[in-house]
Structure 1
Amino acid sequence: MNKIKFIFITLIFLAVCFSSSAYKILYAEQWYRLFHLHFYQYPERCAENIHYLEEALRADFANPLNALAKINNKTEWELYRYLFYTHVSLKLVEQYLLWGSKYDKQVAYFYNYPWKQQNLKSLEKAEKLYKYALVYWEEAKKWSAKAANFQFLFLSDVQYWHDESYRIENGELNYEEIIKEHLERLEKVRSQFMNMDENTY
């Protein structure tokens, strides 16, 4: 009898432990809250953050009562969503650039010739990641332009998002130039690797 009682109590305990610790992530704000910066930015950590942010862009928004800013009316709700999309798109640009930098070879040193093929593959990965960053930069500009139509409104809880959008609109923040510089330099480094042979080593 005691054995059956012990097993029954153990099963109840396990059921409570496993059912109470998990909750389903449904809304954009929940996905966004999972995004975090690591002290050491390894590629898999960038990939993890990118997953959270891309899910945030795909997910529905929570009820305005659970927004990341105080929302008083439909107009503020519309602005909030445009600023959210702008901000998350910018974070994706940053994460893709950071991830790409892990594979980017800034300089083609002559002594790297024995690993020429590995370096070329690494540059190819970096190029793809930089191009993804460019896609999200275009998204950020699109949403920022929509938010710019609400210049008479200000959501104080997300002031930083307003600042980002304003910097995009006045040209102070321009990731396109930065990304294109990376791609141009990468192409020069790739060309140097392609021209390497036994005589250059």
Structure 2
Amino acid sequence: MRVSVKLFLFLNIFFLSSSQVYGYKILYAEQFFKLYHVHFNQYPEDVLENIFYLEKALRSDFCNPLNALARIENETEWERYRYLFRMHVNLKLVELYLRLASKYDKKEAYFFNYPWKYLNLESLDKAEKIYEYALVYWEEAKRESSKAIMLSWIHLEEIQYWEDENHRIETGELDYERIINSHLERLKRVMRKFQNMDQNTY
């Protein structure tokens, strides 16, 4: 009895491990978008992972309208859907780049940070470049939003949140440029404080 159980388990493990496991290739924008996820701890590598997925989504073709993230019934809905999708992905990329920049940004230059002055300046330089990169995606989001608003009479229920974002951009309620520029202004002030630090200020 015991031998037959062991033999049964061995055969199951053998056949399961030797059987092929099939996967599918990720090709379409929606597939890459579905890989985007929010981590509990927002470490830089987690943010970069999501940036990778969303940038791939922007560079990929859309799937067939049958597999879209909203119900599509005609070509005009399909057009609006694509504008909203690209707008939303660009907005998510702005948020991710802001989150990434915050990992390198210094809110204040304290006198006791002088021993690490050059490390802090290097970190601030990285943050500045990342903030500027976020502005590029904001411009793209605005461009797609301006196209989507031209078809605003079309309502796609499954992606209503994207439509809300579209409305907020067009009314000026959502303005990442203002937010990013305020970060850049503060960053430059902090950078100047670090640059002016010396042994006399420590």
Once the two structures are TM-superposed, the CA of residue 16 in structure 1 deviates from its matched residue by 2.5
Distance 2:196 2:126 in 1: 20
Normalising by structure 1, we get a TM-score of: 0.92
Distance 1:48 1:129 in 2: 15
Distance 1:91 1:97 in 2: 10
Residue in structure 2 matched with residue 73 of structure 1 by the alignment? 74
Tell me the SS of whatever aligns to 1:135: helix
**Amino-acid identity (%):** 62
Distance 1:200 1:76 in 2: 62
Residue in structure 2 matched with residue 120 of structure 1 by the alignment? 121
Residue in structure 1 matched with residue 105 of structure 2 by the alignment? 104
Distance 1:140 1:115 in 2: 37
Residue in structure 1 matched with residue 201 of structure 2 by the alignment? 200
Q: In the comparison of the two structures, how many residue pairs are matched?
A: 192
| Structure 1 unpaired stretches of 5+ | 1-5
Tell me the SS of whatever aligns to 2:100: helix
Residue in structure 1 matched with residue 168 of structure 2 by the alignment? 167
Tell me the SS of whatever aligns to 1:150: coil
Normalising by structure 2, we get a TM-score of: 0.92
Distance 1:15 1:190 in 2: 59
Distance 1:184 1:25 in 2: 40
1:19-55 deviation per Cα after TM superposition (whole angstroms, max 9, x unaligned): 32x2210000000000011111111111000000000
Does residue 47 of structure 2 align to residue 46 of structure 1? yes
Does residue 92 of structure 2 align to residue 91 of structure 1? yes
Once the two structures are TM-superposed, the CA of residue 161 in structure 1 deviates from its matched residue by 0.2
Residue in structure 1 matched with residue 7 of structure 2 by the alignment? none
Does residue 36 of structure 2 align to residue 35 of structure 1? yes
Residue in structure 2 matched with residue 184 of structure 1 by the alignment? 185
Residue in structure 2 matched with residue 26 of structure 1 by the alignment? 27
Residue in structure 2 matched with residue 16 of structure 1 by the alignment? 19
Once the two structures are TM-superposed, the CA of residue 152 in structure 1 deviates from its matched residue by 1.3
Distance 2:19 2:130 in 1: 43
Once the two structures are TM-superposed, the CA of residue 162 in structure 1 deviates from its matched residue by 0.1
Distance 2:171 2:18 in 1: 56
Distance 1:16 1:190 in 2: 59
Distance 1:175 1:58 in 2: 23
Distance 2:176 2:89 in 1: 14
| Structure 2 unpaired stretches of 5+ | 1-9
Moved over 3 A (4+): 12-15
Tell me the SS of whatever aligns to 2:150: helix
Once the two structures are TM-superposed, the CA of residue 65 in structure 1 deviates from its matched residue by 0.3
